[in-house]
Amino acid sequence: MTDKTGDASFALAQSRRLDALLRREAETQGGQLPFDRFMELALYAPELGYYTGGARKFGPEGDFITAPLLSPLFGRTLARQCAQVLEVLAGGEILELGAGTGDLAVDLLEGLRAEAQLLERYLILEISPELRDRQRSRIAQRAPHLLEKVHWLDRLPPRFRGLILGNEVVDALPVHRFCIGEGGEVLEVFARPLPESWEDVLDQPISPGLEESVRALQAQGFVREPGYCSEIHLRFAPWMRALSESLAQGMILLIDYGYPRAAYYHPSRSQGTLLCHARHQAHENPYLYPGLQDISAQVDFSALADAGQSAGLYLAGFTTQAHFLLGCGLDENLGEALAAGADPNVLLGAKQLLLPTGMGERFQVIAFTRGLDPALTWRGFGLRDLRGRLGQGANRQMG
């Protein structure tokens, strides 16, 4: 198969095809799209969206760097938490949601082997055929002896037993956007096509649950000032419900950037958290070159916790990435790697994973369990568990 992902003319042609699709969709809905629908198609339209088309996304030649690409110690350390879950279950599998380059799968499998936890199968749920090919090639390149353990899925499996892992997955779920009008009314943000581009338009809400959810935030003291605009994560509930229905016993572990609700809807964030990435440049215009740039929003971890609990899961832990990795022994792994003669640059990668100016405080880790003892202390949350920051729902679950 010829790789055309680096061909600028091919990429622009794909973007124009997606733009035409978006415009046709807008026509069917009265000339404008609820923003979550625009974002959904821009990211996931079959063969044309950012994650389903051919845009090169990860690494130096892509649009952003993820933790597994910063350092193999991320996956090796994460493996210790996975090993604890598998030990408690006396077996089980790992299911990674969206495996990026495939590097995390390799590092996790190698880390599990070091922890004497051998998996029969490592499952990857990946909707992009192009990314599947890249993941398979990367695993074959780095660890051909592990490739037979890796299996790709088209959908969530029934009655899964083990650990479901999502690293930088939640931020790519489509979000609804809203603003508070001058009279205090709740307005929805729509995407409306212009002759050569798109624009934001404020109008009466049509998305089910949007106005009620914003009013619920206002009842808690947030988003009250006229002109306040942000995102709201209405898709968390069905997404977490699907994960819950798949998980028979085990843990769901999600790692992403974001805040608890009180910080997410702080007055200083009165224009929301939406951010786009293209070629390692960040900007706030989601309408540039559809399909060729990432569109994401910070995660409201309180909303995610509420969605998980409403789906029948137990909120088992919440902390920063730095505390999680240190709790899982990243410092020990770093020392062992340096003692074994690893490239000294491994220290720089570890610092980026831990420092507040890197990923250490911007990224958070949240865990949900089903069928496991709530009294268990999980390695990644043993150093500092911050569930109390998530709000009343989290405190209620902690009991």
Given a cut of 50, is residue 57 above it in pLDDT? yes
pLDDT of residue 348: 87
**Count of CA atoms in the C-beta half-sphere (13 A) of 300:** 26
What's the CA gap between 115 and 128, in Å, rounded?
31
Mean pLDDT over 3-28 rounds to 86
pLDDT of residue 83: 96
Contact 291, 355 (CB under 8 A): no
For CATH 3.40.50.12710, the residue range(s) in the chain are 8-61+174-235+266-296, 67-172+243-256+301-398
Spatial CB neighbours of 53, under 8 Å, sequence gap ≥ 6: 14, 18, 47, 130, 291
What's the CA gap between 63 and 59, in Å, rounded?
7
pLDDT of residue 280: 66
What's the CA gap between 199 and 373, in Å, rounded?
50
Coil, helix or strand at residue 200: strand
Q: What is the pLDDT of residues 121-139, one digit of tens each?
A: 999 999 888 899 999 999 9
Of the chain, the percentage scoring pLDDT greater than 70 comes to 93
Of the chain, the percentage scoring pLDDT greater than 90 comes to 78
| Mean pLDDT over the full length of the chain | 91
What's the CA gap between 150 and 299, in Å, rounded?
29
Q: What is the pLDDT of residues 264-292, one digit of tens each?
A: 999 999 999 999 988 768 899 999 989 99
Q: Is the pTM of this model over 0.85?
A: yes
CATH number for the segment(s) 8-61+174-235+266-296: 3.40.50.12710
Given a cut of 90, is residue 90 above it in pLDDT? yes
pLDDT of residue 399: 38
Closest CA to 76 of 340, 367, 292: 340
What's the CA gap between 344 and 341, in Å, rounded?
8
Strand 176-180 and strand 186-193: the pairing is antiparallel
Pick among 3.30.450.40, 1.10.3720.10, 3.40.50.12710, 3.40.50.170: CATH of 67-172+243-256+301-398: 3.40.50.12710
pLDDT band, residue 313 (cuts 50/70/90):
very high
